[in-house]
Each structure stands twice: as C-alpha cells, then as structure tokens.
Amino acid sequence: MADSIEDAVSRALSDSPERNFRETVDLAINLRDIDLADPNNRVDESIVLPSGTGQDTRIVVFAEGETAIRAADVADEVFDSDDLEDLGDDDNAAKDLADETEFFIAEANMMQDIGRYLGTVLGPRGKMPTPLQPDDDVVETVNRMKNTVQVRSGERRTFHTRVGSEDMTADQIADNIDVILRRLFTDLEKGPQNIDSVYVKTTMGPSVEVPA
C-alpha cells in the first residue's frame, strides 16, 4: 500500500499506459460490516470536489423567466414548463436526457410537475433535480454542481466515483479523495471501520491501494 493518498495517486498516474484520449481518475471503495439491504445504511452523497472533477459535467436546468435566461449562460440545457410537458409525453427522449445528464436543477415551484412528468424516469436513476429556492443564485448553483460528484453505493459493497482526470496533479486529486473519505468517515455508522479498502486508478490503468 502507498504511504499516503498523494503517493497512491502518483503511482496510479505514472503506471497508466499512454492512451489517445484523456483518462479519468476513479476511486473504488469497498465497504465492510454494514447492512446495505437497509436503505438507511447506503451511501448517497453529492460531494463538491475542491479541485474540481477534471471533466465536463453536464447540467440541465428546469426554469422560467429571468432564472432561465441566467441559467442559459452556464447550463448545458434549460427547459421550461412546455418543454417539461413534451418530455413527459416522450419516454425515450426523457430517458436519453436522464442518461446523458449528471445533475438536474429545478426551480422549486416546478418540482411537483417534474415529479409528475419525469419522476418515473429520474427517480430510479437517483437524478431528481436539486430544488432552486427563490433566493438561490442559479449561476452559482450550476457552477458548484459542475465540481460535484455523486457518491452512491446502492446495495453494493463496492462502488466507484470520479475524482479527477489524468492531466490534474497528484496533489489536486489527493485533495479530492481526502474530502470524499472524510465525508464517508462521518456518514458511515462505524466510520473508518466500515471501509475495507480503497483503490485509485485511471480509466485503463492498474489499481493502486489508497491508505484510508
């Protein structure tokens, strides 16, 4: 095992063969001594990475009026109430949108209609929108979500999340991993004792164990 998180990341980056595309850096987390059949014990967190994800994160906003205008400058797509109703009538388009989008944001007063039209598509995928309250800044919210990853275990003891890309420094990626592990230590019933092992790797590279 590496002596530090940064050492593990450095080894993962250096051991990765050269590819003709930019690889992501992923974290694999293995849990132990926890009953994941109980939904209350499952990991399901949105975590803002201090160094960013190193990749494009697709954000879709449901909004109208001035909020929609401001969102258009920073979000990948903006849908109003009419668009939402159209998506509700086109199951394939709704599924494609859900699969292609990391995060959804919606004005709070649209959440009920989103549940009605898209709840059966977004809900099972864990992609129901983050509600945007009247006092929230949509630009700030979108920019924050661009640096956010969803860390979700479901019923699996082993799960993965993105922590950066190969062109980031080992220090930046290590900072991201540290934030994720600290959140897990806080959330899990037995803290670090519920972590069996942690590995970091590039998309096509070998895994390196991370000290947790």
- CA angle at residue 188 from 194 to 120, to 5 degrees? 115
Residue ranges and CATH numbers for the domains of the chain are 5-54+147-209 (3.30.190.20), 59-146 (3.40.50.790)
Mean pLDDT of 182-209: 94
pLDDT value of residue 148 = 94
Run of H or E residues at 86:
helix 81-88
d(CA 53, CA 208): 19
Q: What is the largest CA-CA distance in the chain?
A: 55
Tell me the pTM: 0.84
SS3 for 173?
A: helix
Residues of the chain with pLDDT > 90: what percent?
89
pLDDT value of residue 18 = 76
pLDDT value of residue 60 = 98
pLDDT in tens, 155-168: 999 999 999 999 99
> Is residue 1 pLDDT above 70, yes or no?
no
| 163 within 8 A of 172, measured Cβ to Cβ | no
pLDDT in tens, 45-101: 999 999 999 988 999 999 999 999 999 999 999 999 999 999 999 999 999 999 999
> Is residue 181 pLDDT above 80, yes or no?
yes
